[in-house]
Amino acid sequence: MILFLAGCTSEQSDQFDLVINNVNLIDGTGGPLQAGVSIGIIKGKIVAIDTTLLDNKKNRIDGTGKFLIPGLFDCHVHTSDFERDFPRFIHYGVTSIFITGGSLCTNDFYAAMCKQGNQDTIPAPIVFHTSQHFSMEGRHPSKTYSSSNWRDGESIFYLKDTIQIQRLVKEVSKYPIVGIKLTIEDGPAPPFVERIPQSFIDKTVKEASKYGLEVFAHISDNIELEMAINGGVQNLVHFTGVKIDPKDSIQMKLLKKFLERKPFWVTTLMIDKSFLYPIHPEWFESESMLGAYKESVKELDPSLVQRAKIYVGILMDEYGLTENSLEAFVLPQVTDIQFLDGMGFNMVLGTDTGNDFNFPGYSLHEEMQLLNLGRMKPLNIIKMGTLNAAKMMNAQDSLGSIEVGKIANMVLLDKSPLEDISNTLLINSVIKRGVIQERIKG
Ligand SMILES: [Zn+2]
């Protein structure tokens, strides 16, 4: 009888695959921190959130004094080598990424990345992606980031007329895309290329809607913002370059019209920081960065530093700046993002990683720090990188917050990110689908 009871107890005490006991929970919904919470996980899903300790003989983490946040999203990613980059995302707690095209992004390349994200042997984030770029020959990004990898009909679509758009949208709708990537922009720096015509934007949005698809537009200034809104675009994958003026009644009217669509707008402040990186060698000394990037930052190519100096000068002219500090570059944009957030826009974290000095995984934390530089509240910033992001991916039923029924993607932190946003880098463990992930050994 005693033996039977003992057996029964041991069975009961292993009812979860993993338990995190007595942790401070920041669930990603924007709600306040909940202290003394215990989380039970079975088969990769959160099945219990309790205020009493959960009994589990094995696989039990004592969360006392620690902080649990949902797995983070980077919603603007490019990669030329996902086998190298995916473990870096996981190392930094980024358990979901949104790939918005790229010169290698053929259907096969996208499928290979998704497959990697769906397996659990090698550390890799869950992958969401857009279609290939809808752009034109001699425009952004194939001209501005020229590479022989841009191949019309494979990794990019060179639009020639509006009739062709009907066929192309039908073609890409067969693949598991979140939406269509439409590149409106005139290039990141002078000499600028031409923007695509308004009629191409209008037609792409119209055709996409027939398949229940939304358009994710790449814009970089106020003219392109207006073109996107007037064309019916639902999501923007960049903020950088846009200037908001609350006193401009015409712009405010335009934004209110946009807001009715409940759009998502990705931040990408890291673009500006990445331009400044080579002239700030001290930024490379962060211990958290060296964990994963020791080799790649050891020696900085002098020609890159030279190029960066020239480019920073061009940008200062464009932005009308007299100094090249991070604050001068970023604070006006953070003020604008805060304003849009206050208006009710769904702001989402994204970095545009894949470009120089924009580091997979690490830079998402930099993006959060940049927003906090403008005094945006950590609780709100975390929501932008979790639940808001999952909503943009239309994956809010399974991802984006720590709630019963959702996939157990979580990051356990040693210190409170609400006290200091840079504490998101003090990562104790990364959990994807209920499994503690292997991190890079620094
Ligand atoms: Zn990009």
Residue of higher predicted confidence among 212 and 189? 212
Q: How many angstroms does the Cα of residue 53 sit away from the middle of ligand 1?
A: 44
Q: How many angstroms does the Cα of residue 275 sit away from the middle of ligand 1?
A: 14
Q: How many angstroms does the Cα of residue 257 sit away from the middle of ligand 1?
A: 26
Q: How many angstroms does the Cα of residue 98 sit away from the middle of ligand 1?
A: 10
Q: How many angstroms does the Cα of residue 34 sit away from the middle of ligand 1?
A: 36
**pLDDT higher than threshold 70 for residue 190:** no
Q: How many angstroms does the Cα of residue 351 sit away from the middle of ligand 1?
A: 8
Least confident stretch, 8-12, 64-68, 180-184? 8-12
Region 11-21: what's the mean pLDDT? 82
Q: How many angstroms does the Cα of residue 286 sit away from the middle of ligand 1?
A: 25
**pLDDT higher than threshold 50 for residue 8:** no
Q: Which of 286, 278, 273, 294 is nearest to 351 (CA)?
A: 273
Of the chain, the percentage scoring pLDDT greater than 90 comes to 72
pLDDT value of position 10: 41
Q: How many angstroms does the Cα of residue 32 sit away from the middle of ligand 1?
A: 33
**pLDDT higher than threshold 90 for residue 350:** yes
pTM for the model stands at: 0.93
Q: How many angstroms does the Cα of residue 106 sit away from the middle of ligand 1?
A: 16
pLDDT value of position 189: 65
Least confident stretch, 192-196, 221-225, 243-247? 192-196
Q: How many angstroms does the Cα of residue 224 sit away from the middle of ligand 1?
A: 15
**pLDDT higher than threshold 80 for residue 5:** no
Q: How many angstroms does the Cα of residue 76 sit away from the middle of ligand 1?
A: 6
Q: How many angstroms does the Cα of residue 125 sit away from the middle of ligand 1?
A: 18
Measure the CA–CA gap between 328 and 220, rounded to whole angstroms: 18
pLDDT value of position 3: 35
**pLDDT higher than threshold 90 for residue 356:** no
- pLDDT tens figures, 32-79: 999 999 999 999 999 999 999 988 888 999 999 999 999 999 999 999
In the chain, the amino acid numbered 351 is T
Contacts of 32 by beta carbon, 8 Å cutoff, 6+ apart: 379
Return the residue matching tokens 């994200």.
117
Cα 187 to the chain's mean position, in Å?
A: 21
**pLDDT higher than threshold 60 for residue 367:** yes
pLDDT value of position 2: 34
- pLDDT tens figures, 398-408: 999 999 999 99
pLDDT value of position 186: 77
Q: How many angstroms does the Cα of residue 377 sit away from the middle of ligand 1?
A: 26
Q: How many angstroms does the Cα of residue 415 sit away from the middle of ligand 1?
A: 32
Q: How many angstroms does the Cα of residue 97 sit away from the middle of ligand 1?
A: 13
Q: How many angstroms does the Cα of residue 364 sit away from the middle of ligand 1?
A: 14
Q: How many angstroms does the Cα of residue 268 sit away from the middle of ligand 1?
A: 9
- pLDDT tens figures, 257-292: 999 999 999 999 999 999 898 888 888 888 888 777
Q: How many angstroms does the Cα of residue 130 sit away from the middle of ligand 1?
A: 11
pLDDT value of position 11: 46
Residues within 5 Å of ion ligand 1, judged at the Cβ atom: 352
Q: How many angstroms does the Cα of residue 100 sit away from the middle of ligand 1?
A: 6
Whether 228 contacts 265, CB under 8 Å: no
3-state secondary structure the chain: CHHHHHHHHHHHCCCCCEEEEEEEECCCCCCCCEEEEEEEEECCEEEEEECCCCCCCCCEEECCCCEEEECEEEEEECCCCHHHHHHHHHHCCEEEEEECCCCCCCHHHHHHHHHHHHCCCCCCCEEEECCCEEECCCCCCCCCCCCCCCCECCCEEECCCHHHHHHHHHHHCCCCCCEEEEECCCCCCCCCCCCCCHHHHHHHHHHHHHCCCEEEEECCCHHHHHHHHHCCCCEECCCCCCCCCCCCHHHHHHHHHHHCCCCEEECCCHHHHHHHHHHCHHHHHCHHHHHHHHHHHCCCCHHHHHHHHHHHHHHHHHHCCCCCCHHHHHHHHHHHHHHHHHHCCEEECCCCECECCCCCCHHHHHHHHHHHHCCCCHHHHHHHCCHHHHHHCCCCCCCCCCCCCCECCEEEECCCCCCCHHHHHCEEEEEECCEECCCCCC
Region 333-356: what's the mean pLDDT? 95
pLDDT value of position 1: 32
- pLDDT tens figures, 88-99: 999 999 999 999
In the chain, the amino acid numbered 258 is F
CA distances from 421 to 28, 64, 73, 287, 380 (A): 14, 20, 16, 16, 11
Of the chain, the percentage scoring pLDDT greater than 70 comes to 94
- pLDDT tens figures, 211-224: 999 999 999 899 99
- pLDDT tens figures, 290-331: 777 876 665 677 887 888 888 888 888 888 888 888 999 999
Q: Per-residue confidence at 178, pLDDT binned at 50, 70, 90?
A: very high
Domains of the chain are 72-400 (3.20.20.140)
Q: How many angstroms does the Cα of residue 374 sit away from the middle of ligand 1?
A: 23
Cα 80 to the chain's mean position, in Å?
A: 17
Q: How many angstroms does the Cα of residue 232 sit away from the middle of ligand 1?
A: 21
Q: How many angstroms does the Cα of residue 383 sit away from the middle of ligand 1?
A: 22
Q: Per-residue confidence at 26, pLDDT binned at 50, 70, 90?
A: very high
CA distances from 327 to 42, 312, 315, 334, 422 (A): 45, 14, 14, 10, 17
Q: How many angstroms does the Cα of residue 238 sit away from the middle of ligand 1?
A: 8
